[in-house]
Amino acid sequence: MTLSATPLGYDDMPWVDDAACRASSPDLFFPSAGRNGDREAKAVCARCPVRSECLAYALRTQQLDGVWGGMNSRERGRL
């Protein structure tokens, strides 16, 4: 996943270097309306060593879209 514009600077997110999604297309984690689900993104997250850090980031910065830490926006909203 490419993080280009974030509320926190990249230096505040050293965990990104270890993310399983680093070599994946962002489109996988931010599917367009016509794309079917987020199963593939969640499979990448399932094997990620920094999944909890990613989820914490998404919650802390109130990410409204995409799959972060293995959860989509609807799932994160329930937390």
Q: What is the mean pLDDT of residues 51-60?
A: 95
User: What local confidence, expressed as pLDDT, does residue 33 receive?
Assistant: 58
Strands (E), the chain: none
At residue 3 the predicted structure's pLDDT band, cuts being 50, 70 and 90, is very low
Phi-psi region of 66 (alpha: psi -120 to 50; beta: other; left: phi over 0): left
Q: Nearest to residue 41, comparing CAs of 19, 78, 67? A: 67
Q: What is the pLDDT of residues 62-76, one digit of tens each?
A: 999 999 999 999 999
The model's pTM:
0.80
- Which two tokens mark 11? 């230096």
